[in-house]
Amino acid sequence: MELSDVAADLTEVLLTEKQISDKIAELSRLIERDYEGERPLLVGVLKGAVMVMADLARELKLHIDMDWMAVSSYGAGTQSSGVVRILKDLDSDLHGRKVLIVEDIIDSGLTLSWLVKNLRARGADSVEICALLRKPEAAKVQVDVKYVGFDIPNAFVVGYGLDYAEKYRNLRGVGILAPHVYA
């Protein structure tokens, strides 16, 4: 779906398909340089990271492995609590692996900082993060995101994997959701 197909549900177009694909190419060149001669394990965080993973993996001129995790933050409402529950774990053994976590968005950073610690504790050689989007709140926690696509305003965004109540994940771009949709 195009952003224009749901224009009435958005207050703003934040990123077009072209801006996203250009950025994924740019990040891929950095990743190729940093992992030259290696075969990193890309770990996608379900479900939001599906689009980033699909595009990043195909853009990379490297052999990679792909694995997936699903996690959920305990606690009330829409705020991430930092206490994370694993809903679907990895199939891979991480010993000696160079792990690159692939995420759609880093907001409070609580989920990712927990995930990095968890994966490091499994014996990975290195654990780095690639996130397409980063919200300003993320700056408040100590989580080192090596590859960031775009710093975005502190608004609720949808598209390109990001959902509201499971909708809008299949938009080609990213937009700011209009308050009337979730009011």
Indicate which residues carry an active-site annotation.
Answer: 107
Question: Considering beta carbons, is residue 28 or 80 the nearer one to ligand XMP?
Answer: 80
Phi-psi region of 117 (alpha: psi -120 to 50; beta: other; left: phi over 0): alpha
Specify the stretch interacting with ligand XMP by CB under 6 A; choose among 34-42, 87-95, 104-112, 118-126. 104-112
- Matching residue, tokens 């990095």: 116
Considering only residues 140 through 179, tell me which ones interact with ligand XMP, judged by CB under 6 A.
156-158, 162-163
Q: Answer with the entry of ligand XMP, Mg ion, none that 40 interacts with (C-beta below 5 to 8 A by kind).
A: none
Site for Mg ion, rule CB under 5 A: 48, 104
Q: Which helix (H) or strand (E) holds 99?
A: strand 98-106
Token readout for 72 is: 């959920």
- Burial-class residue 96 by CB neighbours within 10 Å (0-12, 13-18, 19+): exposed
CA nearest to 41, candidates 130, 108, 111: 130
Does residue 111 bind ligand XMP (CB under 6 A)?
A: yes
- Check binding of 28 to ligand XMP (CB under 6 A): no
Residue among 35 and 134 whose Cβ is closer to ligand XMP: 134
Q: From the CB of 158, what's the least distance to ligand XMP, in Å?
A: 5
- Environment class of 180 (CB within 10 Å of its CB; exposed 0-12, middle 13-18, buried 19+): exposed
Residue 106 interaction partner, one of ligand XMP, Mg ion, none, beta carbon < 5-8 Å per kind: ligand XMP
Which residue, 40 or 48, is less far from ligand XMP as judged by CB? 48
- Indicate whether 48 belongs to the interface with ligand XMP (CB under 6 A): yes
The two beta strands, 174-177 and 10-15, are antiparallel
Residue among 109, 108, 102 at smallest CA distance from 143 = 109
By residue count, the chain amounts to 183
Nearer to ligand XMP, 15 or 106 (CB): 106
Among 51, 106, 127, 145, contact with ligand XMP (rule: CB under 6 A): 106
Residues that bind ligand XMP (CB under 6 A): 48, 80, 103-112, 156-158, 162-163
